[in-house]
Amino acid sequence: MTTELAALLSSVPANAVRADYARAIIDDNVLGKKTGSNRRLTAQRLSELYGLDASIPVYRLLRYFWDIDPVGRLLSAFLCAFARDPLLRITASAVLPTPAGAIVRTIDLEHAIAAGAPGRLNSSIQNKAASNAGSSWTQSGHLTGRQKKTRVQAMSTPASTAYALLLGYVEGARGAMLFETVWARILDRPKDEIINLAIAASQRGWLQMLRAGDIVDIKFTDILTPKERNLLDEQG
């Protein structure tokens, strides 16, 4: 739903809370939906995928990078949805290991969902979830094509790299392990390229990176709020 997300974020300020987004979609109809039920459903689904509330760190940081990095928007939006949608995360096993040029079928995504959430979904809902996941991986740049989807390399930027590393950091990874997480794998680049993108992100102030040989130290002092840093310190 990146088309709807883009239209919504162009209409609502970055410090908005969930009620502001709901009002823009349902009352102001900034997305141009024809019926009230469609507006309410769209508001619900966008909220599920992205959070749409500046008090939610994963969304606040998506909005931060969205506003400063138009080129990396699709991948950053995917990273946020990936963090919030468990069924989408399950399908990573059917996409990320697939070599460029190979076909990824809907049935491959269905098998991944069936293996990752056995007995949870009936066949109809499982097929719909797989189809939606295929669309998401296509919008992120990992797949191309409509009916026949082919694996391609997604486009990463310094900002989407900073966001991916930050998600790994929030999850508990530190140092060089940040380049080994599923978030780093979504960047779809060799480790040395991700390191170079991280260096570029550091030069822009989106993270603080010190490197001596294989030893890497990465922090997000400037981009996390004091409250967020305190919560991470308590978890650590």
- How many Cα atoms sit within 13 Å of 134 on the Cβ side? 23
- Band the pLDDT of 178: cuts 50, 70, 90: very high
Question: What sign has the CA pseudo-torsion 132, 138, 143, 149?
Answer: positive
CA-to-CA dists, residue 197 to 162, 164, 202, 209, 210, angstroms: 8, 11, 9, 11, 14
Where exactly does CATH 1.10.10 map onto the chain? 158-235
Determine contact, residues 223/206, Cβ cutoff 8 Å.
yes
Q: What's the pLDDT tens digit per position in 15-37? A: 888 889 999 999 989 898 889 89
Kind and range of the H or E element at 2?
helix 2-9
CA-to-CA dists, residue 226 to 57, 201, 221, angstroms: 12, 21, 9
Determine contact, residues 150/104, Cβ cutoff 8 Å.
yes
Architecture of domain 158-235: Orthogonal Bundle (1.10)
Cα radius of gyration rounded to whole Å, the chain: 18
pLDDT at 206: 94
- pLDDT over threshold 70, residue 235: no
At 143 the three-state DSSP class reads strand
- pLDDT over threshold 70, residue 202: yes
**Does the predicted TM-score (pTM) go above 0.75?**
yes
Q: What's the pLDDT tens digit per position in 104-148? A: 999 999 999 999 888 888 889 989 999 999 999 999 999 999 889
- pLDDT over threshold 80, residue 4: yes
Find the mean pLDDT for residues 154-159: 95
The C-alpha angle 169, 231, 165, rounded to 5 degrees, equals 15
- pLDDT over threshold 60, residue 236: no
The pair of structure tokens assigned to 79 is 């990273």
The pair of structure tokens assigned to 61 is 């940081």
Q: Indicate the DSSP class of residue 163.
A: H
Determine contact, residues 75/34, Cβ cutoff 8 Å.
no
